[in-house]
Amino acid sequence: MADGSVVTDLAPSVAAQERPATSPRGRGFDPYAVRAQFPILSRQVNGKPLVYLDNAASAQKPRAVIDALVATMEGGYANVHRGLHTLSNEATEAFEKAREIVARFLNAESAEQVVWTKGGTEAINLVANGLGLSIQPGDEILVSEMEHHSNIVPWHFLRERRGAVLKWIPVLDDGSLDMAAYADLLSPKTRMVAVTHMSNVLGTINPVAEITRLAHAAGAPDSRIKVLIDGCQGAVHATPDVQAIGCDFYVLTGHKLFGPTGIGALYGKAEALEALPPYQGGGEMIETVEMDRVTYARPPHRFEAGTPPILEAIGLGVALEWLAQYDRASVQTHEHSLYQHAVDRLQGQNWLRILGQAEGKGAILTFAVEGAHAHDVAQIMDRYGVAVRAGQHCAEPLAKRMGVTSSTRASFALYNTMEDADAFVDALIKARNFFV
């Protein structure tokens, strides 16, 4: 609060009590109608209404996804592909329809460019493993200081095992990427640029099309630099148009997109996928298996060994169809209005440091409270029903860059409301009072 006063009651502010029918700047988007579709959001935690602001870790699931999973298990489940009976044919049709939905969501040229994985982490490992077979000592891989560990550790494997050199794109004080430094880091030795579309800590939305353009224009004349975009946050809060971005690979995960856990997808340009060797061996990913040789299926099935996550893929397809009914720009405006409302109410609090204030950032509010550990802040806020994240958020290099050992993160989604934003600020101020 700008005047530094302390909130002593968790009752919503006057503005929140007015309960607008739509988001103030959401152009008709109705978060209350959306919220009503999420059964879990009606529960209480510690005697208080649940305020779920841990969406960057994992989003809640709408009734449409829950019902689709139950209906499939009750009346339409079987293993997919090669089955000749009715249930298998129905399951295969639903499974492949979900692949087409992901392709449309990403604006991919073809559904054959979408590989099912168990999440964003496996998708990045798939690419790193395939690339690693051709990595030579001294080849360079560029990652940014704001990456999630899932987009760091697989490249460290190549450093340890193949002699690759990791180069780090710096982050500026406001949380934006140092694009001038990035351009300078590109060289004929660069083989891969792997960056996040949107930081899970700072909320920074990176200029991924420009990052891709610069990478493709650099490098050795006979070997174009590949670009992988970690879209696990960006697919939810930014615009994941892979043709407009121009990247070679784009990664997403289902559980942040209101779908099930255990499902993700890797988009790859056709030529990029064709050039990758298989990641795992087994059924489904082969053409022929003989005693002295084996031949592999074409993408995407080359990378989908074994029985796939059938229910999870179908659930993700339903989640994306559900999400598609809402105008993306309106959702982004609504989410940002919640973020900005919380920031405005916290202006002038000299005990609070907000991490990441880059222009155009997404609705993630990560902060450090002076004199308090992030874990303690989060646990106290939980007493008031407010669910936030605490720690290093699987981004240890970024924490060191920002000069913190830990931080607390509130991340907004389309089902959050102004009441949620106010309850968050009220609970945060109450938590801070424990340490003064």
> Mind telling me the catalytic residues?
394
What is the rounded distance in angstroms from the CA atom of residue 216 to the CA atom of residue 231?
19
The contacts of residue 210 (CB under 8 Å, 6+ apart) are 179
Cα 311 to chain centroid distance, Å, stands at 21
**Closest by CA position to 218, among listed 249, 194, 184:** 184
Report how far apart the first and last C-alpha atoms of the chain are (Å, whole number).
17
Which residue's entry shows tokens 């000299």? Answer: 350
Contact 395, 146 (CB under 8 A): yes
Cα–Cα dist 212/232, whole Å: 18
Report CA-CA distances (Å) from 143 to 49, 151, 154, 166.
Answer: 40, 8, 11, 7
Please count the CA atoms within 13 angstroms of the CA of 6 that sit on its side-chain side.
8
Pairwise CA distance, residues 89 & 76, whole Å? 10
- Burial of residue 347 (number of CB atoms within 10 Å: 0-12, 13-18, 19+): exposed
User: Cα–Cα distances in Å, from 319 out to 63, 71, 361, 409?
Assistant: 10, 15, 24, 25
**Spatial contact of 372 and 435, defined as CB atoms under 8 Å apart:** yes
From its phi and psi, is residue 82 left (phi > 0), alpha (psi between -120 and 50) or beta?
A: left
Parallel/antiparallel/unpaired status of strands 190-196 and 226-230 = parallel
- In this structure, are strands 352-355 and 386-387 parallel, antiparallel, or unpaired? unpaired
CA atoms within 13 A on the CB side of 157: 15
